């Protein structure tokens, strides 16, 4: 890899890690996150709440002060994620202890994925669809720690990409109930019929499975699979805006959907990083100019 290409790959990796935290920060500060799936689960939480608090379960779930406290905690988490986003963007200029808050932020992303899995009937695919999102900050830390795109890091990035695309494909082909928003976003973006959108999603789902296999082929072939994955991953991210944007209330549309595009950017950016690596050289180890930490 040339030094310029190396810097481009590093820059994309930093943007990908920061985008996860930035998007989730906006969600937590201005919208909602599914923590109540756990905190209001009577089977899990009722014995705990009634043993450590003076409230009955009914008093706890109907207490407006409790709900307000949960919301305040979410805002606090959002502010923490915003700081993590800044730390990712300027990671090489930050003190070494900054990596630990980023690890903590990554653990928060795993917890969030678990909450979404619980919300969606414990579908394993729902959890692993977020693999690229909660792993990308770790990729950034490991990259700086090694001072290189090591073979182990490249393989980890490929496995995370494969898991994300497989799980996305499981919903697209209908193995899990296909979210209605998939179809509506496709129809709105392409201005097509419902039947065409559903057929297109089915084809795209099978291509997602092909991506999960193709990225492990030798670089002379896998680089083109990675390029497709990068384009498709970015398109599905931007579809959150193109499929839900209305000129009658443009700011409201962006407020509601832009952050969902932002935290999905790693779905395209990580395959793009891998494409740069595969396209420029058949080697898997790339030294960098940054000293290992």
Q: What is the pLDDT of residues 85-126, one digit of tens each?
A: 999 999 888 888 888 899 999 999 999 999 999 999 899 999
Q: ∠ CA 149-19-156 to the nearest 5 degrees?
A: 30
Amino acid 291: pLDDT: 44
Parts of the chain with a pLDDT under 70: 1-6, 279-293
Q: How far apart are the first and last CA of the chain?
A: 22
Segments making up each domain of the chain, as ranges: 3-287
Amino acid 92: pLDDT: 85
3-class secondary structure, 149: strand
Burial class (CB in 10 A: 0-12, 13-18, 19+), 149: buried
Do the beta carbons of residue 20 and residue 136 sit within 8 Å? yes
- Give the predicted TM-score (pTM) of the model: 0.91
Amino acid 2: pLDDT: 58
The secondary structure of residue 283, as a DSSP letter, is -
Lookup result for tokens 């579908």: 123
CA distance 21 to 223: 28
CA distance 182 to 171: 9
Q: Which two tokens stand for residue 179?
A: 């979210």
Amino acid 4: pLDDT: 63
Lookup result for tokens 């890899």: 1
Residues counted in the chain: 293
């Amino acid at each position: 890899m040339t030094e310029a290409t190396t810097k481009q790959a590093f820059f994309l990796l930093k943007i990908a890690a920061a985008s996860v935290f930035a998007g989730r920060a906006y969600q937590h500060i201005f919208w909602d996150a599914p923590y109540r799936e756990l905190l209001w689960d009577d089977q899990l939480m009722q014995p705990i709440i009634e043993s450590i608090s003076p409230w009955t379960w009914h008093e706890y779930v109907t207490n407006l002060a409790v709900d307000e406290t949960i919301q305040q905690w979410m805002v606090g988490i959002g502010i923490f994620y915003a700081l993590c986003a800044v730390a990712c963007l300027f990671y090489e200029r930050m003190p070494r202890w900054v990596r630990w808050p980023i690890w903590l932020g990554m653990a928060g992303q795993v917890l969030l994925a678990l909450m979404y899995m619980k919300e969606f009937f414990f579908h394993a695919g729902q959890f692993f669809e977020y693999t690229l999102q909660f792993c990308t900050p770790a990729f950034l830390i490991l990259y700086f720690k090694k001072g290189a795109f090591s073979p182990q890091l490249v393989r980890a990035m490929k496995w995370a990409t494969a898991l994300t695309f497989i799980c996305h494909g499981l919903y697209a082909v209908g193995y899990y109930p296909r979210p209605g928003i998939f179809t509506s976003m496709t129809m709105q973006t392409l201005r097509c019929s419902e039947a065409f959108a559903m057929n297109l999603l089915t084809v795209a789902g099978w291509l997602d499975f092909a991506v999960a296999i193709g990225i492990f082929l030798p670089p002379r072939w896998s680089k083109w699979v990675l390029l497709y994955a990068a384009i498709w991953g970015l398109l599905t991210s931007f579809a959150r805006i193109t499929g839900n944007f209305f000129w009658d209330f443009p700011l409201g549309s962006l407020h509601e959907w832009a952050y969902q595009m932002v935290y999905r950017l790693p779905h395209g950016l990580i395959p793009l990083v891998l494409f740069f690596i595969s396209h420029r050289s058949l080697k898997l180890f790339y030294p960098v100019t940054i000293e290992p930490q």
